[in-house]
A and B are shown apart, each in its own frame.
Chain A
Amino acid sequence: MKLNGKWVPQGQTQAMPFGIHLGIGQFYNADSTISAFVQNYFTIKLDKSFTILNGQTKTFNINMNIEKWFEYPYAYNFDVYGGSIMNNQEAQNIFKKNGRFVFSETVSSR
């Protein structure tokens, strides 16, 4: 997952760049060497069941609420974590957890 954009740090007016890229994370030793890798993928089940009859067409839309990546259920504080997360597993974990709530689906018949 990649979300690139700008944020305004507290007390400033200039929008600063961010690149929130969720992927494989790392834990580090005291000497900054990598001690372990973390898989940050997750599974989402969209639980709306539907039936497609013979000859029928249905449209299945997956919606993504971008704001929720940053605020629900855990608020991501740019002033604490900054604009990049790839080397910060704690920050990645926030997006991993929030990611479970950002998707919804709609099914419509045509």
Chain B
Amino acid sequence: MMKVMKGLLRLATNLKSVHLRMIRLICVLSVLFIGGCKKEKESRYSPTPYTIQIPKFFPSNLNIPADNPMTVEGIALGRYLFYDGRLSGRTSPDSLMSCCTCHIQEYSFTCGINNPSFPGGMPHGLTGIPTPHAMMPMINLAWNNNGYLWNGLIRTDNPDTHRRNIEDLVWMGITAPHEMHGDTSRTVALIQSIPGYPELFKKAFGSDKVTMKNIGKAIAQFIRTLISSNSRFDKYLRGEIQLSEQELSGFEIFTTENGGDCFHCHGESGNPLFTTNLFYNNGKDTVFTDTRDRYHVTGRTPDIGAYKAPTLRNVEVRGPYMHDGRYKTLDEVIDFYSGKVVWSPYINPLMHHVATGGVRLTSKQKSDLKTFIHTLRDDEFLTNPDFAKPASFPDGTK
């Protein structure tokens, strides 16, 4: 009887030992399995870094936030979102709106002065509310280190961390009453539900969960790829072509104080961005009532009535001109700077021709200047397929 008991005890001990060993084995396997999953997950999220190639003679100080490095996958996703009308959070065909509704490539990513949807080139939001200002072009924004919008409200040193860069402008575009007049939670939910998008978010940001933050990051990445560096003037600078006599005359007028004196604010061969990205009261008015001028950002009196000098690249395909779109043609703009500048206590020091109402160009000088400005048109930018609407969206819709 005792032998039987000892035998049973040994059997139980052995079984216990086997059981323990099995538990240990399962634990080891589990650890290996979990480790394997983690490794697999890590290896799946490996976006391809994208580096902006600095065009010849361009500055090298790019404005790319540290928390949003550019990747091939992020840019591809951003391009879809930029063009997908469901970014508004709506699906009804008459309620679709995205960045591209107003930012149209052939008009240098403005809405275009001859756009039947936006008479006079002044856009309005999805619900019909007009935008407060005319549109600024989307060109070479990666080089803008002095704030976005006409008054530079969106700037990297803004104490409001939600108003610092292009990423934040995406959020503003969706929510602003004069733009999409939407609700970001609806946008996020809708994009999440569209087949194909979650996978693209996973490739770009490591998670298939769609967030507003990542929507903003992706679109901002795409916008930073919108680079213009191949106008006739760029080719001239690189020694690839020669400009005509009239174009060169216009260039001289553009870059001389006794000529058009354009270069102080709008750049020249040493600043091929063709903007300083700074803010000027350029002598358009004597009374200032706009609550969206530079003064309302800085609180500095000299900034009353001041607005950003936009780039002159592709200026001929956009318009209307000035922050309020008061001029419809380039001829009107040149006429203004030539003889309609008015004095106010806030006029910028660089407008030192105000005593004579402007730079006083002759008809020939005006013509030559305009001819030079045409050399800043970059058709490669205006037709670049990488900037255009994708053939179809991630769910196959067009």
Contact = CB atoms under 8 A, between A and B. Distances in A.
Contacts of A21: 257
A19 B258 contact: no
B349 A86 contact: no
B352 A19 contact: yes
A87 B350 contact: no
From DSSP, what is the main secondary structure of chain B's interface residues? loop
Interface in A52-106: 82-84, 86-87
A6 B256 contact: no
A17 B257 contact: no
B345 A83 contact: no
Contacts of A15: 345
A16 B257 contact: no
A17 B354 CA distance: 8
Contact of A4 (B345, B349, B353): B349
A82 B352 CA distance: 8
B257 A87 contact: yes
Interface in B314-372: 343, 345, 347-355
Interface string A16-42: 111101000000000000000000000
B90 interface: no
A87 B347 CA distance: 22
Contacts, number: 41
B264 A19 contact: yes
Contacts of A87: 256-258
Contacts of B352: 16-19, 82-84
Interface string B250-265: 0000001110010010
Interface of A: prevailing SS: strand
A92 to B, nearest CB: 11
A17 B345 contact: no
Nearest to B283: A17
Contacts of B347: 17
Contact of A18 (B256, B264, B345, B349): B349
A45 B252 CA distance: 36
B349 A6 contact: yes
B350 A19 contact: yes
A4 B256 contact: no
B350 A17 contact: yes
Nearest to B256: A87
The 4 closest A-B pairs by CB, nearest first: A83-B352, A4-B349, A87-B258, A17-B349
Given A18-B352, A87-B256, 13 more contacts: A9-B355, A14-B343, A14-B345, A15-B345, A17-B347, A17-B350, A17-B351, A17-B352, A19-B352, A84-B257, A86-B256, A86-B258, A87-B258
17 contacts: A4-B349, A4-B350, A6-B349, A9-B355, A16-B354, A17-B347, A17-B349, A17-B351, A17-B354, A18-B352, A19-B264, A19-B350, A19-B352, A21-B257, A84-B352, A84-B353, A87-B257
